[in-house]
């Protein structure tokens, strides 16, 4: 069993979180992704409880954001996706809501002190999310687990990197290099997916 699943099951709220997002395909995999995001998110929010809003981009079933409001002192979380999701359990989650929208049209002026999280944004969307993080002063941090590859494969890495790393790792390194502020790119083997690189970036003013 993944360490993240064991940790998740120790939360008193584990059953409530599962009930809120059910049905979910590959629940174990999704839990490990959400826990990997939570691991990075807690570093930012614990020193300043209830200050930050979480924006869960390409949220899907909303598990990562819902886990954050159940287990961390975030002010509020908005799950955003171009597709609408409807779960009976959503109505029982406090400090959380679901918004169907195109993230490229989102006005982030309304969301001061926000942190973008995104679990497995597909292809080019991962770069779009980084562009939104970079260009908006209200967004203070970014945590993303990129997924499938973009429509292009030329990441302008030295041949040494191209020879030794998979396309997914090269894509993750490219995305990491685009982020402003303090940044990391971590391979998290506790995520039950081959797409298990976590990009973490924090602007210098927090």
pLDDT tens-digit readout, 16-26: 999 999 999 99
Going by their DSSP bridges, the two strands 96-100 and 114-119 should be labelled as: unpaired
pLDDT tens-digit readout, 71-128: 999 999 999 999 988 899 999 999 999 999 999 888 898 899 999 999 999 888 999 9
Q: Where residue 88 sits, what CATH number does that domain have?
A: 3.40.50.150
CB distance 116 to 143 below 8 Å: yes
What local confidence, expressed as pLDDT, does residue 149 receive?
82
pTM of the model: 0.95
What local confidence, expressed as pLDDT, does residue 89 receive?
94
Q: Which domain holds residue 102?
A: 3-202
Average pLDDT across the chain, whole number: 94
What's the residue count for the chain?
206
Count structural domains, the chain: 1
pLDDT tens-digit readout, 154-166: 777 778 778 888 9
């Amino acid at each position: 069993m993944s360490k993240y699943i064991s940790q998740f099951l120790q939360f008193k709220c584990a059953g409530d979180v599962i009930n809120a997002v059910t049905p979910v395909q590959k629940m174990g995999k999704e839990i490990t992704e959400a826990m990997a995001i939570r691991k990075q998110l807690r570093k930012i929010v614990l020193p300043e409880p209830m200050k930050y809003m979480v924006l869960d981009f390409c949220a899907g079933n909303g598990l990562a954001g819902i886990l954050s409001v159940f287990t961390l002192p975030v002010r509020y979380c908005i799950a955003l996706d171009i597709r609408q999701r409807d779960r009976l359990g959503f109505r029982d989650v406090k400090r959380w809501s679901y918004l169907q929208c195109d993230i490229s049209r989102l006005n982030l002026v309304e969301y001061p002190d926000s942190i973008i999280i995104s679990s497995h944004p597909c292809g080019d969307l991962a770069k779009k999310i980084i562009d939104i993080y970079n260009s908006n002063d209200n967004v203070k941090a970014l945590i993303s687990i990129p997924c499938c590859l973009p429509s292009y494969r030329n990441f302008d890495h030295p041949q040494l990197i191209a020879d030794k790393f998979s396309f997914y790792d090269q894509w993750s390194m490219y995305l990491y290099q685009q982020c402003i502020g303090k940044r990391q790119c971590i391979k998290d083997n506790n995520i039950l997916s081959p797409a298990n690189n976590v990009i973490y970036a924090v602007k210098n003013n927090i």
